Structure 1
């Protein structure tokens, strides 16, 4: 089944999408989640197992720093021994020996670990999804519209497309650009079709390098623009994700856009992107269809937030 493109015409310069859900829409294709769609997928859950699709956060973890963004940092703000000396709660040495106190703080870029991009992450010509302009809606404390806090909990049918396994590989080669045909062949091999409102997750195998940040970040494979069009325009995907950090691969296919897959999905189609999804266990067990459940942190005005997705196999 074909699904209409939400913006643009053949040969025209890309423009941001105008939402079919109205001029005040801030969540794009997440509007496809309904009480009926949630109930339908949850009614099929087997309850036999739950797959955690999130990665660990740790100092030295892979992160996008090419644009000068900060790495993940974690430090102790309170330790049991330190409180014996500092007595920060002013309860005395005897109490601090009896009651130990540990506290910590973290600092991070919003696009780290398993995270979901909000629709304001990338735009075109000064505007983002649904025609919201940076000039009017972006302040010193983040976006007034489409912030990460607007994302509802995602409960939907999930589909793994294991491109690496379909090619008989543990991992796709460096800089490999996943094509429309790759996706079709993998789906056929798996015996699974796409449906409107799916969360579609692409496995490249890159997650096997996650503990080695340099190897994980170097020349990752990723999705091509035509493959992204297939997922949204033919498959009806609501959310797309992958086990790499950039989702798409580089260099860009489009001369006048250095990140065309992101702008196509987020700005033109209102489709969300989840990156650094750990798909290894699903691949190992050949679980290609499941209930996807994920809720991101409500970072007000932010362009991304960490998410802890879970895959529940179906009956």
Structure 2
């Protein structure tokens, strides 16, 4: 089966001829921070913005916004990417018997040695998409081209290693709660009106440079991989534009697997929200954020602090974000 046919079947798409609706084909965005810029909207984070949000931290409870990694966990596999794998490389009894370090049986039985290894797709678990994850017409944000900037060892620009430690104002938009449901329906497409209604109900206004996290409630079935991964709710193009262009979000994210809803709203593009955010406006995406405790505690504004692994040339990296309530 061809990849496009497989993907169409997985996402429920009706594949169209190449091209987009309208008079022109969308192209990647040009960074206002110059032709060498690799950070896009992350440039909105400065010494002053970091100091401002940290000065408001209340202390006390800290919310962990990351998920656990385990064999059988949900993941994106439609394109054939590997599932999360974990295996023991050394066990106390095995190391004593095999003696891999040559220390002798007696020492091996006295000093218990445990080791393990993992293998996974970079978009597994709580992670952040780098700007090179999706592009248009062979280019990524700021017109870096695959022909010139992508080698066998990864991208030479905008790799995950370029993502700085993130310290910013975070905002939870609890769409599921404002709709009075535990979890949005499968395939539900979050609209601008949904976001505005939730913000009004929460008494919170977005600010330029925010990390905006959308709660769909999907995380409640995270342990059930098939249910979690099947046709999740997500954002539509209108909502994405509202966050990036009208509100000036620095990073956007959600608690679902693929952030946007399927099938695509745009003819000729199976992931228009991803290509819009990453390649047209330079806004990174966080996926699989754990937002249940924030929602239960009704914490809608917080200091968001996170660091991703510096995977050189990669298109995403695991992220360990935390939220600290404000005074």
Match of residue 120, structure 2, among 89, 94, 108 = 108
Which residue, out of 60, 71, 85, partners 2:72?
A: 60
Cα offset, 1:12, TM superposition: 3.8
- 1:218 alignment counterpart: 230
Secondary structure of 2:139 counterpart: coil
State how 1:111-190 maps to structure 2 within 5 Å: 111-190=123-202
Counterpart of 2:4?
A: none
- Extract unaligned runs of 5+ from structure 2: 1-21
Q: For residues 84 and 142 of structure 1, what CA distance do their matches in structure 2 show? A: 39
Q: In structure 2, what is the equivalent of residue 25 of structure 1?
A: 37
Q: What is the CA-CA distance between 1:13 and the residue it aligns to?
A: 2.4
- Which residue is 1:196 aligned to? 208
Residue of 77, 85, 96 corresponding to 2:89: 77
- Whole-Å separation in 2 of the counterparts to 1:12 and 1:68: 32
Provide, for residues 152-207 of structure 1, a one-character-per-residue CA deviation record: whole Å limited to 9, x for no partner.
00000000000000000000000000001000000000000000000000000000
Distance 1:249 1:81 in 2: 49
Match of 2:243 among 219, 227, 231: 231
Report the equivalent of 1:92: 104
Q: For the residues of structure 2 that align with 1:34 and 1:120, how far apart are their CA atoms?
A: 23
Counterpart selection for 2:274 from 262, 265, 276: 262
CA distance in 1, matches of 2:319, 2:270: 26
1:204, 1:247 → 2: CA distance?
10
Show the counterpart of 1:311.
323
In structure 2, what is the Cα distance between the partners aligned to 1:14 and 1:158?
30
Q: Secondary structure at the match of 1:310?
A: strand
Cα distance, 1:85 vs. partner?
Answer: 1.2
**Cα distance in 2, alignment partners of residues 97 and 32 from structure 1:** 55
Deviation string for 1:60-84 (max 9, x for gaps)? 0001011100000000101001012
- What corresponds to 1:243 in structure 2? 255
Distance 2:243 2:24 in 1: 21
Shift of 1:234: 1.1
Residue 42 (str. 1) matches residue 54 (str. 2): yes
Cα deviation digits, residues 12-45 of structure 1 (max 9, x gap): 4211010001111111100001000000000000
CA distance in 1, matches of 2:167, 2:68: 22
Q: 3-state DSSP class of the match of 1:295? A: strand
Give the RMSD, CA atoms, in angstroms.
0.8
* TM-score in terms of structure 2 length: 0.93
Quote how far apart the aligned CAs of 1:11 are.
5.4
For the residue of structure 2 that corresponds to 1:91, the secondary structure is: coil
Aligned equivalents of 1:22, 1:255: Cα separation in 2: 31
List runs of 5+ in structure 1 lacking aligned partners. 1-9
Tell me, in whole angstroms, the C-alpha distance in 1 between the residues paired with 2:94 and 2:177: 50
Helix, strand or coil at the partner of 2:56? coil
Other structure's SS at 2:308 match: coil
TM-score, length of structure 1 as denominator length = 0.96
The total of aligned residue pairs comes to: 306
1:280 paired residue number? 292
- Alpha-carbon deviations, 1:250-288, whole Å to 9, x = none? 000001111000000000000000000000000000000
Structure-2 separation of matches of 1:245 and 1:28: 23
Q: Distance between the aligned counterparts of 2:87 and 2:213, measured in 1?
A: 33
